[in-house]
Structures are given as structure tokens and as C-alpha cells.
Structure 1
Amino acid sequence: MIKFNIVLPGAPSNMSVRSELYNEGLIIFRGKGEIGTGNKILVSTYGVLDINERFRISDMCNITCLTRVSLGKLCRIAHRSQILDGSFHYVANFNKMTVQNHTRPIMIGDQCWIGNSSTVSAGAVLPSFTIVASNSLVSKDYSDLKKGSLIGGTPAKLIAEEMYRIEDSDANTIIGDYFRLTDNPIYYIPCDIVPEGYYRYK
């Protein structure tokens, strides 16, 4: 059901760097999924890592769960990304004589795509069908985003709307052939195609 430490097509897999799983809490796998090489997944004593079906965690990713981290179905976490719901260490502010809680749950919706080398930090909320550009910092609640939003930057901000990862294999073949056989850098989507036709997973 769960393929662990596997070579993923198109990813920088390295079988000499094995994935590691440290679990002192609870990990819930709600269906099949894939985890590449060189990952480190840590779930602490009171942590709950809840991963929905048909997920893919690429290579060299770091997931730390001290409270709760939830990944929706069909999520894609690209290589060298990290999801951290805490910073491990408390910091004392002696000007205010306070210590702030560094842990907050993370919620990532269905069919989100976290671009490579990105960080999702404590308290982050991503609605379903959000694409995160590479090298971004996702550090807050983005619940107000529309479905199909593309965000990016440090910290991540809205870049575009109505953007969907193409999952449909037939669509990928048609578009790939178009670019292979023409010099045109843009493929125009036929007017009868709706977003569901591209992101629907068969």
C-alpha cells in the first residue's frame, strides 16, 4: 500500500540515501502513496501525521510533526521541501518575560502541489488545489484563497488564479505531443474543456 524509499520518475532519487521514519506518536495512512529516497519523517509523542490517499512525497524532504500535520488526498510534495509544525526549541523573551508557543498544526488540502525546496511552517493552511511555487515559504493561513490558486515567494503571496496541475494522462499525452511536434511555446486549451477535465485523477 505505501511504497517507501522508492525511486520516483523525474525526481532526484538516490538509493544510497535512505528515507528514515521516527514515530513516537500516530501516523495515519488513509490509502496508498509513495515516499521517495532521503526523506526524514519525525512524529513526536503527541504528534498526529494524517496523510490521505494517493499522495507522493518526493526525495530529500523533511516532515516534522509535533502537534498535527494533515495532507489531503493526491498531494504532491516535491524534492527538498520541508513541512515543520514547530521549531523544536522554545525561545525566552526577557524584554517581555514571556515564552511563545512555537508549535501550531498544519493543514494541506486535497490535490495541493508543494514546489521543490519550499517550506511549510507552523500554522499554515492551504486550501485544496493550491500550487506552491518552488523556493517558497508558506507561513500562514491561506484559507481565503480561491480554488486553483498559485502562490509563491518568501513569504508566499498570490501569483495567479485558475491554475491546476494536469493529472489526466490523456491530456498530458495530447499536450506533450503538441509541444514535441510544434515550435509554439503555448498550447491553447479547447473551449469545451473545464478544469475538472484536467485535474480529475483516473
Structure 2
Amino acid sequence: MIKIVQHNYRKARAIYQKLQFYYSVNWTKTLYFNFKKFPFGVAKQLPVFFYGNVKFTAITGKIQIIGPITKGMIGFGQPYEMNTLHKGIAEINILGAIVFRGNVQIGKDYFMYIGIDGYCEFGHMSSLASNAKLICIERVVLGNYARFGSESQIIDTNFHHMVNTQTGKKCKMTAPISIGNYNYASSRVTVLKGTKTPDFCTIASNSLCNSDYISFGYNILIGGIPAKFIKDSISRDWEGEKAALDDYLII
């Protein structure tokens, strides 16, 4: 009798959790985006889910998924973090090109702007946590498992031209950003134009990255304002976490 009750309880709980999950999806924006941006054969599989409120300022750019298509593989506003509430301030403005190379998670209340000449690429299982900001005017590439904490921002432009007051020469306003595979950036990390990180790089909380860190090699910790090399032979335990991470985050 007890086993029957336990079985029924687990079954009811699983149904409740599934209903709760599907209730959190913004089906109006999800359906509109998928059938607006993808061929029918792809759109009907609903590869992109939107959760909570989001403003589509523009979605006229090119959106491409490279790899096997599965339902909900890309989640905007995906509720995978400890905080459970949306503020309802999420906004996307995609004028250029954005490419997804697998499953991708974007947390709550994000802002994403891809300029008309911009190219943005997300590797498999890359992510931006809640209140993240991504502005791509030229080129931003996140490698596989490049995961950023809450309130992080990735910006490849100065927004305004800077001038050498002695020579009158204008400085370049934009520069590509390249984040390596298996990068872990803690909360409130700012990545500015020209930043390049190697594979297996950890970025400390509240850091500002604005340089090429490739020469320091793999398995490094960087941090500070501006970020500098701190330590080598250190990495997030990807081998120990990867299976659990995939199981928890992939819809």
C-alpha cells in the first residue's frame, strides 16, 4: 500500500513539475519567434523557448542553429538559477547574425543587441545568467561551455570614437571578443572589446577583462580591474560537473 502511494505521489509530482515548467514558457513569443525566423521544418520543433516577458525590439537579423535540432534547446529567460522571479525587463534587438552551436541558456532579464554588421556565436552549453548584457557591433564568440554569472556584460565597442589629442588620430571603436571553451566567469564580470581568453579559463567576480590572455595558457585564473593573470593549474571541475550540468540544464 505504501509503495503504491509513493509511486502515485512521484507520478503526480512529475506531472506538476512538467505543468509548472510549461506554464513558465511564454508561448506567444516562442511560437512567433520560431515560425518567423526558421523554415517550417525547423520551426515546428520549437528549438527556441522564451520564458517570462520579453520585448522584441527587432528580430530582423539572421538566426542560425548548427547541429541537431531539439525542442527548447535554446532558452531565453530560462529558469535555471536560484532566483525564481522575472522583473520583466528582458529585451532583444537582433539586426545582425547570431549563431547557436548547440544548447544555450540565457537567464532572466537579459539585454541582447546584435548590430546590423555584428556576428555573435554561442558554443554548445554556453550561457549568460540573469541580468546579463551582450552588445555585439563587430564580433563576439563564446566557446563551448563558456558560462557567465549574473550581472555580467560583454561589449565589443566603446560606443563613441576616442581621439588621440596630440595626433588627432581616432582610435578603433570596436574589436572582436573571443571567449574560449570551458570558461567560467563569476558574477558581475565585464568583458570589453579585444578580449581573448584561452580554454579552461576562470574569471573572478567583479573583474574587467580588456586584453588578450591566450599567452598565459590553459587552466588559468584571471581577475581584477583590469583583469590580470593570478594563478595557473586551476579550473572548474568540468569533468566532475559536466554530466550533472547537462542533465539539469538541457530540456
Q: Which residue of structure 2 lines up, in the alignment, with residue 28 of structure 1?
A: 99
Q: 1:162 offset after TM fit, Å?
A: 1.4
Tell me, in whole angstroms, the C-alpha distance in 1 between the residues paired with 2:246 and 2:132.
Answer: 24
How many residues get paired? 175
Q: Which residue of structure 1 lines up, in the alignment, with residue 108 of structure 2?
A: 37
143, 148, 169: which one pairs with 2:214? Answer: 143
Q: Are 1:111 and 2:173 counterparts? A: no
Tell me, in whole angstroms, the C-alpha distance in 1 between the residues paired with 2:77 and 2:90.
Answer: 5
Q: Which residue of structure 2 lines up, in the alignment, with residue 180 of structure 1?
A: none
Q: Which residue of structure 2 lines up, in the alignment, with residue 9 of structure 1?
A: 81
CA RMSD after TM alignment: 2.2
Deviates more, 1:143-152 or 1:92-101: 92-101
Q: Which residue of structure 2 lines up, in the alignment, with residue 53 of structure 1?
A: 124
81, 90, 104: which one pairs with 2:161? Answer: 90
Tell me, in whole angstroms, the C-alpha distance in 2 between the residues paired with 1:68 and 1:46.
Answer: 9
Q: Are 1:163 and 2:234 counterparts? A: yes
Residues 121, 101 of structure 1: alpha-carbon distance in 2 compared, 3 angstrom cutoff: same
Q: Which residue of structure 1 lines up, in the alignment, with residue 45 of structure 2?
A: none
Q: 1:93 offset after TM fit, Å?
A: 4.1
Identity of aligned residues (%): 29
Provide the secondary structure at the position in 2 that maps to 1:131. strand
More helix per residue: 2
Gaps of 5+ in 2: 1-72
Deviates more, 1:132-141 or 1:90-99: 90-99
> CA deviation digits over 1:19-42, x for unaligned, max 9?
221111000001111111111111
Provide the secondary structure at the position in 2 that maps to 1:99. coil
Tell me, in whole angstroms, the C-alpha distance in 2 between the residues paired with 1:114 and 1:58.
Answer: 10
67, 71, 75: which one pairs with 2:142? Answer: 71
**Contact kept? 2:198, 2:214, Cα under 8 Å:** yes
> Could you tell me the TM-score, scaled by structure 1's length?
0.79
Gaps of 5+ in 1: 173-196
> CA deviation digits over 1:83-126, x for unaligned, max 9?
11102111344432221112000000101011111111100000
**Contact kept? 2:89, 2:110, Cα under 8 Å:** yes
**CA radius of gyration, larger in:** 2
Q: Which amino acid aligns with 1:145?
A: F
Residues 164, 23 of structure 1: alpha-carbon distance in 2 compared, 3 angstrom cutoff: same
Q: 1:56 offset after TM fit, Å?
A: 1.8
Q: Which residue of structure 1 lines up, in the alignment, with residue 133 of structure 2?
A: 62
